Amino acid sequence: MKYALIGCGRVAYNHLKAAKENGFEIVAVCDIEPDHIFDLYTRAALTPEEAGAIARYEDWNRLFDCEKPTLVSIALPSGLHAACAKDAVRRGIHVIVEKPIALSLQDADELIALARETGAKVCACHQNRFNLAVQEMRAYLEKGCFGVLSNAAVTVRWSRGRDYYSADDWRGTWAQDGGALMNQSIHGIDLLRWMCGGKLATVYGVTRRQYHPYIEAEDVGAAVLQFENGVIATLEGGVNVCGPDLEEHLTLIGSGGTMKLGGLNASTVEYKYFAQEGEAAKNALHEIAPNLYGNGHVSLFKDMAEAIEEDRDPYVTAQDGRDALETVLAVYLSSKTGRPVSLPLKDVSTLDIAGLFD
Ligand SMILES: NC(=O)c1ccc[n+]([C@@H]2O[C@H](COP(=O)([O-])OP(=O)(O)OC[C@H]3O[C@@H](n4cnc5c(N)ncnc54)[C@H](O)[C@@H]3O)[C@@H](O)[C@H]2O)c1
């Protein structure tokens, strides 16, 4: 599998590691900052021979045309995801694109349509779906053990200070990022939507910028979500915890079972009780992860390679990425208008929210 990485910043290490562990042929990387490439190689402990065998580019289109990779993964600032993914897909190159898949629904829809036309596969990088705890919850759900779902909740309580935002000028901007819901909470939002049945009816949300006046977007948000199937859910996501990151929880309550995932990124089974099984189990599973991004990239890359080989959809599709994006945009729109928002949404973008906290 000829593979290339576009964007060599913070999360890129997880991509390179996933590519290596899956035995991909890493043909090229792309970044406008040569230092970032060298830092990445150091973090990944590449030997000079390994690093020397990888071509370096500053322009992703040149990379696509010269190297002709089968698969690329995109770890650029969020506002560049859609443009780069579309450039790849137009050439029939398969793509793993970091979350959020885009910052506008129009871009997400264009990407999905292009992929349909060219046959290129697009995977949205919501790697937490592969957390062992999440897989366990999903298995109970698919076996019907939850019975009829009643309600669910996700909480993302993390901590980001001024140093985090000032390190890169795209962070916290409406044009390139969004805030705590679009960046940090979107994995939890993806899990919530996936577990609760996918189709949302209405969203009522409130967002605020409480402690970070130097960013444009929200640093905390909360919402009530109603699904078409009658499930109600709550969402709370923010980066205002005093001290280190606190938790990411996902709770699912059904007539046949209750399950609560926790830890820093929904990587622990904190509680489960299923009527069929009888006894409540506490702390049944605790996955050790090297960082907040978890272990999921390796599994997600493996699945994408198999999807290409088997000519099937990846486990996490572009439509899944669009669903998560739509959910965040619905919270944003509701917060802006002060009213509940009905879904589905079309043609909404983070830029429509610009100025909300000015
Ligand atoms: N899946 C996850 O758990 C996870 C975790 C962290 C970040 N992310 C996502 O990954 C993306 C990258 O985040 P990050 O924290 O690594 O950001 P970063 O700023 O550390 O890295 C982005 C890299 O892209 C490079 N770049 C910028 N413009 C470019 C261009 N035009 N052409 C080529 N390279 C360019 C930058 O120089 C930088 O090295 C974001 O969208 C973020 O939301 C996902």
What is the per-residue pLDDT across 302-333, written as a single tens digit (0 to 9) for each? Answer: 999 999 999 999 999 999 999 999 999 999 99
| Residues constituting the chain | 358
Average the pLDDT over 282-302 and give the result.
79
Instruction: Give residue 320's pLDDT.
Output: 98
* Section 268-290 average pLDDT: 76
Report the C-alpha gap between 155 and 177 in whole angstroms.
Answer: 20
Tokens coding 95:
């793509």
Distance of CA 174 to the CA centre of its chain: 17
Question: Which residue has the CA at smallest separation from atom 5 of ligand 1?
Answer: 11
Using 50, 70 and 90 to split pLDDT, how confident is the model at 281?
Answer: low
Question: Using only C-alpha atoms, what is the Rg of the chain?
Answer: 20
Structure confidence at residue 165 (pLDDT):
98
184 vs 281 pLDDT, higher one: 184
Q: Domain 129-292+322-353 is of which CATH architecture?
A: 2-Layer Sandwich (3.30)
Which residues are near ligand 1 (CB < 6 Å)? 7-12, 30-33, 36, 75-78, 80, 98-99, 125, 127, 168, 183, 293
CB burial string 119-140: b at 16+ within 10 A, e below: ebbbbbbbbbbbbbbbebbeeb
Cα 227 to ligand 1 centroid, rounded to whole Å: 32
What is the pLDDT at residue 198?
78
Residues facing residue 57 across a β-bridge = 30
Closest ligand 1 atom to 126 CA: 1
Q: 161: buried, middle or exposed (CB in 10 Å: 19+, 13-18, 0-12)?
A: exposed
CA of 170 to the centre of ligand 1 (A): 9
Q: Which two tokens stand for residue 270?
A: 């904190």
Nearest CA to ligand 1 atom 21: 9
Eight-class DSSP state of 258 = E
Measuring from atom 39 of ligand 1, which residue has the nearest CA?
9
- d(CA 171, ligand 1 centre) in Å: 10
Omega of the bond leading into 213 within 30 degrees of 0 (cis):
no
* Ligand 1 atom 20: residue of nearest CA: 9
Residue 319 phi/psi, 5-degree rounding, is -65, -40
Q: In what order do the strands lie in the sheet with 25-30?
A: 55-57, 25-30, 2-6, 71-74, 94-98, 122-125
- The proportion of the chain whose per-residue pLDDT surpasses 70, expressed as a percent, equals 97
**Structure-block tokens of residue 276:** 């069929």
Confidence of residue 291 (pLDDT cuts 50, 70, 90): confident
Residue 230 CA, ligand 1 centroid: distance in Å? 37
Residue keyed to tokens 């043609």: 347
Q: Where are the domain boundaries for CATH 3.30.360.10 in the chain?
A: 129-292+322-353
pLDDT at 282 over 60: no
CATH architecture of 2-128+296-316: 3-Layer(aba) Sandwich (3.40)
Domain boundaries for CATH 3.40.50.720 within the chain? 2-128+296-316
Ligand 1: atom nearest CA of 127 is: 1
CA distance 338 to 113: 33
Mean per-residue pLDDT over the chain, rounded: 95
Kindly state the average pLDDT of the residues 200-205: 98
| Spatial strand order in the sheet of 149-157 | 281-286, 268-274, 257-262, 247-254, 149-157, 232-238, 220-227, 200-208, 341-342
- Nearest-CA residue for atom 19 of ligand 1: 9
118 alpha carbon to ligand 1 midpoint, in Å?
A: 26
Mean pLDDT of 218-237: 98
Residue 289 has pLDDT above 80, yes or no: no
pLDDT, average across residues 231-241: 98
Q: Do the beta carbons of residue 236 and residue 208 sit within 8 Å?
A: no
pLDDT band at 279 (very low <50, low <70, confident <90, very high): low
What per-residue confidence (pLDDT) applies to 290? Answer: 66
Contact 247, 239 (CB under 8 A): no
